Structure 1
Amino acid sequence: MRIGIFGKGRLGSAIALEAQAAPDLDLAWVLGPEGVPTPVDLAIDASVAGAVDGHLAWALETGADLVIGTTGWALPGLEGRIGSRIGVLAAPNFSLAVALMARLSTVLGRFAALDGTLDPYVLEHHHRLKADAPSGTARRLAEAVLAGMPGKSAWTLGAPGPGELGIAVIRAGAEFGSHTVGLDGPAETLTLAHQARSRAVFAQGALRAARWLRGRRGLCTFDDYAREILDPLFGDLP
Protein backbone atom coordinates (compact mmCIF):
# COMPACT_ATOMS: atom_id res chain seq x y z
CA MET A 1 0.00 0.00 0.00
CA ARG A 2 1.39 3.37 -1.03
CA ILE A 3 0.92 5.95 1.74
CA GLY A 4 1.71 9.56 2.51
CA ILE A 5 1.93 11.44 5.80
CA PHE A 6 0.77 15.00 6.40
CA GLY A 7 2.85 16.44 9.22
CA LYS A 8 6.52 16.42 10.16
CA GLY A 9 6.00 16.86 13.89
CA ARG A 10 6.40 14.36 16.69
CA LEU A 11 3.62 11.99 15.65
CA GLY A 12 4.20 12.31 11.91
CA SER A 13 7.90 11.56 12.32
CA ALA A 14 7.17 8.54 14.51
CA ILE A 15 4.69 7.16 11.95
CA ALA A 16 7.23 7.70 9.18
CA LEU A 17 9.86 5.65 11.04
CA GLU A 18 7.44 2.76 11.53
CA ALA A 19 6.22 2.94 7.92
CA GLN A 20 9.75 2.86 6.53
CA ALA A 21 10.37 -0.41 8.39
CA ALA A 22 7.11 -2.05 7.24
CA PRO A 23 7.60 -4.37 4.24
CA ASP A 24 3.98 -4.05 3.11
CA LEU A 25 4.02 -0.23 2.96
CA ASP A 26 5.54 2.18 0.46
CA LEU A 27 6.03 5.59 2.06
CA ALA A 28 5.76 8.10 -0.78
CA TRP A 29 6.07 11.37 1.14
CA VAL A 30 6.06 13.14 4.49
CA LEU A 31 4.93 16.73 4.03
CA GLY A 32 4.85 19.90 6.04
CA PRO A 33 2.56 22.84 5.23
CA GLU A 34 4.63 23.77 2.19
CA GLY A 35 4.47 20.35 0.49
CA VAL A 36 2.41 19.24 -2.49
CA PRO A 37 1.08 15.66 -2.17
CA THR A 38 1.20 13.20 -5.04
CA PRO A 39 -1.40 10.41 -5.48
CA VAL A 40 -1.30 7.62 -2.87
CA ASP A 41 -3.64 4.85 -1.75
CA LEU A 42 -3.98 6.31 1.74
CA ALA A 43 -2.76 9.34 3.67
CA ILE A 44 -2.32 9.80 7.40
CA ASP A 45 -2.98 13.28 8.77
CA ALA A 46 -0.76 14.07 11.74
CA SER A 47 -0.56 17.80 11.09
CA VAL A 48 -2.54 20.61 12.75
CA ALA A 49 -6.25 21.19 13.22
CA GLY A 50 -6.47 24.01 10.70
CA ALA A 51 -5.10 21.83 7.91
CA VAL A 52 -7.55 18.92 8.22
CA ASP A 53 -10.25 20.45 6.02
CA GLY A 54 -7.84 20.97 3.14
CA HIS A 55 -6.38 17.49 3.48
CA LEU A 56 -9.87 15.98 3.44
CA ALA A 57 -10.74 17.94 0.31
CA TRP A 58 -7.58 16.62 -1.35
CA ALA A 59 -8.41 13.04 -0.33
CA LEU A 60 -11.95 13.32 -1.72
CA GLU A 61 -10.62 14.76 -4.97
CA THR A 62 -7.93 12.11 -5.47
CA GLY A 63 -9.80 9.11 -4.02
CA ALA A 64 -7.22 8.45 -1.31
CA ASP A 65 -8.38 7.00 1.98
CA LEU A 66 -7.54 9.16 5.00
CA VAL A 67 -6.60 8.43 8.60
CA ILE A 68 -6.89 11.55 10.79
CA GLY A 69 -4.79 11.58 13.95
CA THR A 70 -4.77 15.35 14.45
CA THR A 71 -6.57 16.64 17.55
CA GLY A 72 -8.53 19.80 18.24
CA TRP A 73 -10.38 19.92 14.89
CA ALA A 74 -14.09 19.80 14.06
CA LEU A 75 -15.77 19.59 10.65
CA PRO A 76 -19.58 19.82 10.78
CA GLY A 77 -21.35 17.45 8.40
CA LEU A 78 -18.25 15.31 8.01
CA GLU A 79 -20.07 12.00 7.55
CA GLY A 80 -22.34 13.36 4.82
CA ARG A 81 -19.43 15.03 3.09
CA ILE A 82 -17.55 11.73 2.90
CA GLY A 83 -20.53 9.54 2.01
CA SER A 84 -19.23 6.36 0.40
CA ARG A 85 -16.60 8.10 -1.71
CA ILE A 86 -13.55 7.13 0.37
CA GLY A 87 -12.74 5.60 3.74
CA VAL A 88 -11.91 8.01 6.58
CA LEU A 89 -10.88 6.97 10.07
CA ALA A 90 -10.67 9.68 12.73
CA ALA A 91 -9.14 9.03 16.15
CA PRO A 92 -7.73 11.09 19.03
CA ASN A 93 -5.56 8.14 20.06
CA PHE A 94 -4.25 5.06 18.23
CA SER A 95 -3.48 2.91 21.28
CA LEU A 96 -5.48 -0.30 21.54
CA ALA A 97 -4.95 -0.23 25.31
CA VAL A 98 -6.59 3.22 25.45
CA ALA A 99 -9.54 1.85 23.45
CA LEU A 100 -9.86 -0.86 26.10
CA MET A 101 -9.56 1.79 28.82
CA ALA A 102 -12.46 3.73 27.26
CA ARG A 103 -14.65 0.66 27.36
CA LEU A 104 -13.75 0.02 31.00
CA SER A 105 -14.38 3.70 31.76
CA THR A 106 -18.03 3.26 30.81
CA VAL A 107 -18.20 0.39 33.31
CA LEU A 108 -16.70 2.69 35.96
CA GLY A 109 -19.35 5.27 35.11
CA ARG A 110 -22.10 2.69 35.58
CA PHE A 111 -20.58 1.66 38.90
CA ALA A 112 -20.39 5.29 40.07
CA ALA A 113 -24.06 5.75 39.14
CA LEU A 114 -24.93 3.11 41.75
CA ASP A 115 -23.34 5.11 44.59
CA GLY A 116 -23.74 8.86 44.92
CA THR A 117 -20.69 9.08 47.20
CA LEU A 118 -18.31 8.09 44.38
CA ASP A 119 -17.00 11.03 42.34
CA PRO A 120 -15.60 10.20 38.88
CA TYR A 121 -12.83 12.27 37.33
CA VAL A 122 -10.37 12.31 34.42
CA LEU A 123 -6.77 13.49 34.74
CA GLU A 124 -4.34 13.90 31.84
CA HIS A 125 -0.69 14.97 31.58
CA HIS A 126 1.14 15.88 28.37
CA HIS A 127 4.35 17.69 27.47
CA ARG A 128 4.48 21.45 27.75
CA LEU A 129 4.20 22.03 23.99
CA LYS A 130 0.90 20.22 23.43
CA ALA A 131 -1.53 22.81 22.08
CA ASP A 132 -4.99 21.47 22.94
CA ALA A 133 -6.30 21.04 26.47
CA PRO A 134 -7.93 18.78 27.39
CA SER A 135 -6.50 16.26 24.95
CA GLY A 136 -8.70 14.43 22.48
CA THR A 137 -8.04 11.24 24.45
CA ALA A 138 -9.17 12.86 27.72
CA ARG A 139 -12.37 14.02 26.04
CA ARG A 140 -12.95 10.52 24.65
CA LEU A 141 -12.48 8.97 28.10
CA ALA A 142 -14.77 11.54 29.69
CA GLU A 143 -17.47 10.77 27.12
CA ALA A 144 -17.03 7.07 27.89
CA VAL A 145 -17.59 7.68 31.61
CA LEU A 146 -20.64 9.85 30.87
CA ALA A 147 -22.10 7.10 28.70
CA GLY A 148 -22.47 5.05 31.87
CA MET A 149 -23.89 7.85 34.03
CA PRO A 150 -27.37 9.06 33.10
CA GLY A 151 -27.16 11.64 35.91
CA LYS A 152 -24.23 13.45 34.32
CA SER A 153 -24.56 15.07 30.92
CA ALA A 154 -21.30 16.90 30.19
CA TRP A 155 -17.64 17.22 31.05
CA THR A 156 -15.92 20.43 32.06
CA LEU A 157 -12.32 21.57 32.42
CA GLY A 158 -11.67 22.14 36.11
CA ALA A 159 -14.11 22.01 39.00
CA PRO A 160 -17.35 20.30 37.92
CA GLY A 161 -20.77 21.75 38.54
CA PRO A 162 -23.99 19.76 39.10
CA GLY A 163 -24.31 17.01 36.52
CA GLU A 164 -20.80 17.57 35.17
CA LEU A 165 -17.65 15.44 35.06
CA GLY A 166 -14.39 17.22 35.80
CA ILE A 167 -11.24 16.93 33.67
CA ALA A 168 -7.91 18.05 35.13
CA VAL A 169 -5.02 18.92 32.78
CA ILE A 170 -1.26 19.11 33.31
CA ARG A 171 1.01 20.64 30.67
CA ALA A 172 4.60 20.23 31.83
CA GLY A 173 7.86 18.53 30.97
CA ALA A 174 8.22 15.96 28.20
CA GLU A 175 5.41 13.51 29.02
CA PHE A 176 4.27 11.54 25.94
CA GLY A 177 0.78 11.04 27.35
CA SER A 178 -0.65 9.93 30.68
CA HIS A 179 -4.38 9.48 31.36
CA THR A 180 -6.22 8.45 34.51
CA VAL A 181 -9.91 7.77 35.02
CA GLY A 182 -10.78 7.50 38.69
CA LEU A 183 -13.52 7.14 41.26
CA ASP A 184 -13.00 8.85 44.60
CA GLY A 185 -15.20 8.03 47.58
CA PRO A 186 -15.04 8.49 51.36
CA ALA A 187 -14.08 4.87 51.99
CA GLU A 188 -12.27 3.77 48.82
CA THR A 189 -10.85 4.80 45.48
CA LEU A 190 -10.55 3.05 42.12
CA THR A 191 -8.39 4.14 39.18
CA LEU A 192 -7.63 3.15 35.61
CA ALA A 193 -4.35 4.53 34.31
CA HIS A 194 -2.50 4.48 31.00
CA GLN A 195 0.94 5.91 30.32
CA ALA A 196 2.59 5.93 26.92
CA ARG A 197 6.30 5.16 27.10
CA SER A 198 6.99 6.36 23.56
CA ARG A 199 5.15 7.65 20.52
CA ALA A 200 5.84 4.33 18.82
CA VAL A 201 2.63 2.91 20.28
CA PHE A 202 0.59 5.61 18.53
CA ALA A 203 2.55 5.27 15.28
CA GLN A 204 2.09 1.50 15.20
CA GLY A 205 -1.61 1.90 15.96
CA ALA A 206 -2.04 4.46 13.18
CA LEU A 207 -0.56 2.03 10.66
CA ARG A 208 -2.75 -0.82 11.92
CA ALA A 209 -5.76 1.45 11.49
CA ALA A 210 -4.60 2.36 7.98
CA ARG A 211 -4.33 -1.29 6.96
CA TRP A 212 -7.79 -2.00 8.43
CA LEU A 213 -9.36 1.01 6.69
CA ARG A 214 -8.17 0.10 3.21
CA GLY A 215 -11.14 -1.10 1.15
CA ARG A 216 -13.77 0.33 3.51
CA ARG A 217 -15.93 3.36 2.75
CA GLY A 218 -17.48 6.04 4.92
CA LEU A 219 -16.52 7.52 8.29
CA CYS A 220 -14.99 5.18 10.88
CA THR A 221 -13.31 5.55 14.26
CA PHE A 222 -10.46 3.71 15.93
CA ASP A 223 -13.11 2.12 18.15
CA ASP A 224 -14.59 0.46 15.06
CA TYR A 225 -11.23 -1.18 14.41
CA ALA A 226 -10.64 -1.97 18.10
CA ARG A 227 -14.09 -3.54 18.50
CA GLU A 228 -13.10 -6.48 16.30
CA ILE A 229 -10.21 -7.22 18.65
CA LEU A 230 -11.77 -6.31 22.01
CA ASP A 231 -15.22 -7.89 21.66
CA PRO A 232 -13.87 -11.46 21.96
CA LEU A 233 -12.19 -10.50 25.24
CA PHE A 234 -15.58 -9.82 26.81
CA GLY A 235 -17.55 -12.58 25.10
CA ASP A 236 -17.17 -15.31 27.73
CA LEU A 237 -17.41 -13.13 30.85
CA PRO A 238 -20.30 -13.98 33.18
Structure 2
Amino acid sequence: MRIALLGYGKMGKTIEEIAINRGHEIVLKLEEDIDTFEIDKMDIDVAIDFSIPKAAFKNITTCFKNNIPVVCGTTGWLDDYEKAVEICKKEDAAFIYASNFSVGVNLFFELNRKLAKIMNGMKDYAVEIEEIHHTQKQDAPSGTAISLAQQIITENDQKNNWQLDHAEADEIPIKAKRIENVPGTHSVSYKSQIDTIEIMHTAKSREGFALGAVVAAEWIKEKKGIFSMKDVLSDQIK
Protein backbone atom coordinates (compact mmCIF):
# COMPACT_ATOMS: atom_id res chain seq x y z
CA MET A 1 0.00 0.00 0.00
CA ARG A 2 1.28 3.47 -0.92
CA ILE A 3 0.79 5.88 1.99
CA ALA A 4 0.99 9.67 2.24
CA LEU A 5 1.92 10.95 5.70
CA LEU A 6 0.41 14.39 6.26
CA GLY A 7 2.27 15.59 9.33
CA TYR A 8 5.74 14.21 9.95
CA GLY A 9 6.32 14.90 13.61
CA LYS A 10 6.92 12.26 16.26
CA MET A 11 3.68 10.47 15.49
CA GLY A 12 4.30 10.58 11.75
CA LYS A 13 7.74 9.04 12.20
CA THR A 14 6.30 6.26 14.38
CA ILE A 15 3.59 5.56 11.79
CA GLU A 16 6.26 5.43 9.08
CA GLU A 17 8.27 2.81 10.97
CA ILE A 18 5.24 0.60 11.65
CA ALA A 19 3.88 0.95 8.09
CA ILE A 20 7.22 -0.04 6.54
CA ASN A 21 7.50 -3.00 8.92
CA ARG A 22 4.05 -4.12 7.72
CA GLY A 23 5.20 -4.01 4.07
CA HIS A 24 3.85 -0.61 3.02
CA GLU A 25 5.58 2.22 1.16
CA ILE A 26 5.65 5.88 2.24
CA VAL A 27 5.39 7.96 -0.95
CA LEU A 28 4.85 11.41 0.56
CA LYS A 29 5.92 13.00 3.84
CA LEU A 30 4.83 16.50 4.84
CA GLU A 31 6.10 18.45 7.83
CA GLU A 32 3.45 19.48 10.35
CA ASP A 33 3.47 23.18 9.42
CA ILE A 34 2.73 22.70 5.72
CA ASP A 35 -0.93 23.20 4.83
CA THR A 36 -0.85 23.02 1.02
CA PHE A 37 0.45 20.32 -1.26
CA GLU A 38 0.14 18.92 -4.77
CA ILE A 39 -1.00 15.30 -4.97
CA ASP A 40 -3.12 15.24 -8.12
CA LYS A 41 -0.44 13.37 -10.10
CA MET A 42 0.76 11.07 -7.33
CA ASP A 43 -0.15 7.39 -6.94
CA ILE A 44 -1.41 7.26 -3.34
CA ASP A 45 -3.64 4.53 -1.86
CA VAL A 46 -4.33 6.15 1.54
CA ALA A 47 -3.38 9.36 3.37
CA ILE A 48 -2.80 9.41 7.13
CA ASP A 49 -3.13 12.88 8.67
CA PHE A 50 -1.48 13.67 12.01
CA SER A 51 -0.69 17.27 11.15
CA ILE A 52 -1.77 20.40 13.07
CA PRO A 53 -5.25 21.91 13.53
CA LYS A 54 -4.79 24.75 11.03
CA ALA A 55 -3.60 22.33 8.31
CA ALA A 56 -5.94 19.39 8.79
CA PHE A 57 -9.07 20.56 6.94
CA LYS A 58 -7.20 21.55 3.77
CA ASN A 59 -5.10 18.38 3.84
CA ILE A 60 -8.15 16.16 4.24
CA THR A 61 -10.39 17.82 1.66
CA THR A 62 -7.60 18.03 -0.92
CA CYS A 63 -7.28 14.26 -0.62
CA PHE A 64 -11.03 13.79 -1.04
CA LYS A 65 -10.94 15.83 -4.25
CA ASN A 66 -8.17 13.54 -5.54
CA ASN A 67 -10.01 10.31 -4.65
CA ILE A 68 -7.62 9.43 -1.81
CA PRO A 69 -9.08 7.82 1.36
CA VAL A 70 -8.10 9.63 4.56
CA VAL A 71 -7.35 8.41 8.06
CA CYS A 72 -7.18 11.43 10.38
CA GLY A 73 -6.03 11.60 13.99
CA THR A 74 -5.42 15.35 14.19
CA THR A 75 -7.45 17.01 16.95
CA GLY A 76 -8.40 20.65 17.50
CA TRP A 77 -9.95 21.23 14.05
CA LEU A 78 -13.42 19.73 14.59
CA ASP A 79 -15.33 22.98 14.04
CA ASP A 80 -14.83 22.08 10.36
CA TYR A 81 -15.61 18.37 10.71
CA GLU A 82 -19.16 18.53 9.29
CA LYS A 83 -17.89 20.53 6.31
CA ALA A 84 -15.25 17.87 5.70
CA VAL A 85 -17.91 15.14 5.86
CA GLU A 86 -20.05 17.01 3.29
CA ILE A 87 -17.09 17.28 0.91
CA CYS A 88 -16.25 13.61 1.44
CA LYS A 89 -19.79 12.59 0.49
CA LYS A 90 -19.86 14.97 -2.48
CA GLU A 91 -16.59 13.54 -3.83
CA ASP A 92 -17.63 9.93 -3.06
CA ALA A 93 -14.49 9.55 -0.98
CA ALA A 94 -13.63 7.67 2.21
CA PHE A 95 -12.86 9.04 5.67
CA ILE A 96 -12.07 7.80 9.15
CA TYR A 97 -11.63 10.36 11.91
CA ALA A 98 -10.78 9.21 15.43
CA SER A 99 -9.69 11.20 18.42
CA ASN A 100 -7.59 8.16 19.28
CA PHE A 101 -6.65 5.18 17.08
CA SER A 102 -5.29 2.99 19.86
CA VAL A 103 -7.10 -0.35 20.01
CA GLY A 104 -6.89 -0.18 23.80
CA VAL A 105 -8.46 3.29 23.91
CA ASN A 106 -11.30 2.18 21.66
CA LEU A 107 -11.97 -0.70 24.04
CA PHE A 108 -11.83 1.90 26.84
CA PHE A 109 -14.46 3.94 24.95
CA GLU A 110 -16.79 0.93 25.01
CA LEU A 111 -16.21 0.46 28.73
CA ASN A 112 -16.89 4.18 29.29
CA ARG A 113 -20.22 3.95 27.46
CA LYS A 114 -21.32 0.93 29.47
CA LEU A 115 -20.30 2.49 32.80
CA ALA A 116 -22.06 5.77 31.90
CA LYS A 117 -25.26 3.86 31.20
CA ILE A 118 -25.00 2.06 34.56
CA MET A 119 -24.28 5.30 36.45
CA ASN A 120 -27.10 7.28 34.85
CA GLY A 121 -29.49 8.28 37.62
CA MET A 122 -26.96 7.71 40.42
CA LYS A 123 -27.30 11.25 41.76
CA ASP A 124 -24.89 10.74 44.67
CA TYR A 125 -21.99 10.37 42.22
CA ALA A 126 -20.31 13.26 40.41
CA VAL A 127 -18.49 12.40 37.18
CA GLU A 128 -15.12 13.90 36.25
CA ILE A 129 -12.57 13.32 33.48
CA GLU A 130 -8.83 13.85 33.71
CA GLU A 131 -6.29 13.68 30.88
CA ILE A 132 -2.49 13.93 31.01
CA HIS A 133 -0.29 14.45 27.93
CA HIS A 134 3.20 15.55 26.95
CA THR A 135 3.99 19.25 26.98
CA GLN A 136 4.15 19.47 23.17
CA LYS A 137 0.45 18.71 22.77
CA GLN A 138 -1.17 21.84 21.33
CA ASP A 139 -4.84 21.39 22.26
CA ALA A 140 -6.54 21.00 25.63
CA PRO A 141 -8.53 19.09 26.55
CA SER A 142 -7.48 16.19 24.36
CA GLY A 143 -9.75 14.90 21.64
CA THR A 144 -9.93 11.61 23.51
CA ALA A 145 -11.17 13.36 26.67
CA ILE A 146 -13.82 15.19 24.64
CA SER A 147 -14.92 11.88 23.10
CA LEU A 148 -15.22 10.37 26.58
CA ALA A 149 -17.33 13.34 27.72
CA GLN A 150 -19.61 13.15 24.67
CA GLN A 151 -20.16 9.43 25.25
CA ILE A 152 -21.17 10.10 28.86
CA ILE A 153 -23.50 12.94 27.83
CA THR A 154 -25.28 10.59 25.41
CA GLU A 155 -25.99 8.16 28.26
CA ASN A 156 -26.56 10.64 31.11
CA ASP A 157 -29.87 12.46 31.53
CA GLN A 158 -28.33 15.08 33.86
CA LYS A 159 -25.36 16.22 31.71
CA ASN A 160 -25.56 18.24 28.50
CA ASN A 161 -22.06 19.70 28.06
CA TRP A 162 -18.43 19.60 29.26
CA GLN A 163 -16.08 22.33 30.42
CA LEU A 164 -12.35 22.58 30.97
CA ASP A 165 -11.59 22.67 34.73
CA HIS A 166 -14.68 24.27 36.29
CA ALA A 167 -18.15 23.05 35.38
CA GLU A 168 -21.76 23.69 36.31
CA ALA A 169 -24.00 20.98 37.75
CA ASP A 170 -25.23 19.94 34.30
CA GLU A 171 -21.70 19.85 32.82
CA ILE A 172 -18.79 17.41 33.01
CA PRO A 173 -15.48 18.90 34.24
CA ILE A 174 -12.36 17.90 32.30
CA LYS A 175 -8.97 18.44 33.91
CA ALA A 176 -6.03 18.68 31.50
CA LYS A 177 -2.43 18.30 32.66
CA ARG A 178 0.76 18.60 30.63
CA ILE A 179 3.83 16.66 31.82
CA GLU A 180 7.06 15.84 29.99
CA ASN A 181 7.18 12.51 28.13
CA VAL A 182 3.65 11.33 28.90
CA PRO A 183 2.10 9.71 25.77
CA GLY A 184 -1.43 9.89 27.17
CA THR A 185 -3.42 8.96 30.28
CA HIS A 186 -7.19 9.27 30.58
CA SER A 187 -9.40 8.55 33.56
CA VAL A 188 -13.13 8.80 34.23
CA SER A 189 -14.19 8.87 37.86
CA TYR A 190 -17.54 8.87 39.63
CA LYS A 191 -17.12 10.25 43.14
CA SER A 192 -19.53 10.23 46.07
CA GLN A 193 -19.01 11.06 49.74
CA ILE A 194 -18.35 7.41 50.53
CA ASP A 195 -16.42 6.02 47.56
CA THR A 196 -15.01 6.50 44.06
CA ILE A 197 -15.51 4.38 40.95
CA GLU A 198 -12.78 4.94 38.35
CA ILE A 199 -11.69 3.58 34.99
CA MET A 200 -8.36 4.52 33.41
CA HIS A 201 -6.34 4.00 30.24
CA THR A 202 -2.59 4.63 30.30
CA ALA A 203 -0.59 4.61 27.06
CA LYS A 204 2.98 3.37 27.43
CA SER A 205 4.18 4.75 24.08
CA ARG A 206 2.98 6.24 20.78
CA GLU A 207 3.15 2.83 19.10
CA GLY A 208 -0.42 1.87 20.04
CA PHE A 209 -1.81 5.03 18.40
CA ALA A 210 0.37 4.60 15.33
CA LEU A 211 -0.43 0.91 14.85
CA GLY A 212 -4.16 1.63 15.06
CA ALA A 213 -3.84 4.33 12.39
CA VAL A 214 -2.02 1.95 10.04
CA VAL A 215 -4.59 -0.79 10.66
CA ALA A 216 -7.34 1.75 9.87
CA ALA A 217 -5.53 2.73 6.65
CA GLU A 218 -5.31 -0.93 5.61
CA TRP A 219 -9.02 -1.34 6.32
CA ILE A 220 -10.29 1.77 4.49
CA LYS A 221 -8.35 1.24 1.25
CA GLU A 222 -10.79 1.00 -1.70
CA LYS A 223 -13.82 1.78 0.50
CA LYS A 224 -16.25 4.70 0.20
CA GLY A 225 -18.04 6.47 3.04
CA ILE A 226 -17.65 7.85 6.56
CA PHE A 227 -16.35 5.39 9.13
CA SER A 228 -15.10 5.14 12.70
CA MET A 229 -12.65 2.94 14.56
CA LYS A 230 -15.63 0.93 15.76
CA ASP A 231 -16.16 -0.07 12.11
CA VAL A 232 -12.50 -1.03 11.79
CA LEU A 233 -12.66 -3.10 14.99
CA SER A 234 -16.14 -4.47 14.39
CA ASP A 235 -14.96 -8.08 14.73
CA GLN A 236 -13.50 -7.31 18.16
CA ILE A 237 -16.12 -4.81 19.47
CA LYS A 238 -19.74 -5.96 19.26
Task: State the 1:35 CA deviation.
Answer: 6.1
Superposition map of 1:148-159 within 5 A: 148-159=155-166
Aligned residue for 1:77, secondary structure, equals helix
Where do 4+ consecutive residues of structure 1 move more than 4 Å? 34-37
**Would the aligned equivalents of 2:97 and 2:227 in 1 still touch at CA under 8 Å?**
yes
**Would the aligned equivalents of 2:165 and 2:173 in 1 still touch at CA under 8 Å?**
yes
TM-score, length-scaled by structure 1: 0.91
CA distance in 1 between counterparts of 2:208 and 2:116 reads 27
Residue 59 of structure 1 is aligned with which of 35, 51, 63? 63
**Would the aligned equivalents of 1:5 and 1:31 in 2 still touch at CA under 8 Å?**
yes
**Cα RMSD (Å) of the superposition?**
1.6
TM-score, length-scaled by structure 2: 0.91
Q: Share of identical aligned residues, percent?
A: 28
Task: State the 1:80 CA deviation.
Answer: 2.0
Aligned residue for 2:28, secondary structure, equals strand
How many aligned residue pairs are there?
230
Residue 186 of structure 2 is aligned with which of 179, 193, 201? 179
Deviations 1:112-151 (A, max 9, x none): 2232111111100001111100000000011111121011
Match of 1:17 in 2: 17
CA distance in 2 between counterparts of 1:115 and 1:42 reads 45
Which consecutive residues of structure 1, in runs of 5 or more, have no partner in the other structure? Answer: 232-238
CA distance in 1 between counterparts of 2:192 and 2:14 reads 40
Residue 191 of structure 1 is aligned with which of 177, 195, 198? 198
Residue 115 of structure 2 is aligned with which of 73, 98, 108? 108
**Would the aligned equivalents of 1:146 and 1:154 in 2 still touch at CA under 8 Å?**
yes
Deviations 1:90-121 (A, max 9, x none): 11100111111112112222232232111111
Match of 1:139 in 2: 146
CA distance in 1 between counterparts of 2:108 and 2:234 reads 12
Residue 224 of structure 2 is aligned with which of 193, 196, 217? 217
Q: Say whether residues 1:6 and 2:6 are aligned partners.
A: yes
CA distance in 2 between counterparts of 1:197 and 1:97 reads 11
Which consecutive residues of structure 2, in runs of 5 or more, have no partner in the other structure? Answer: none
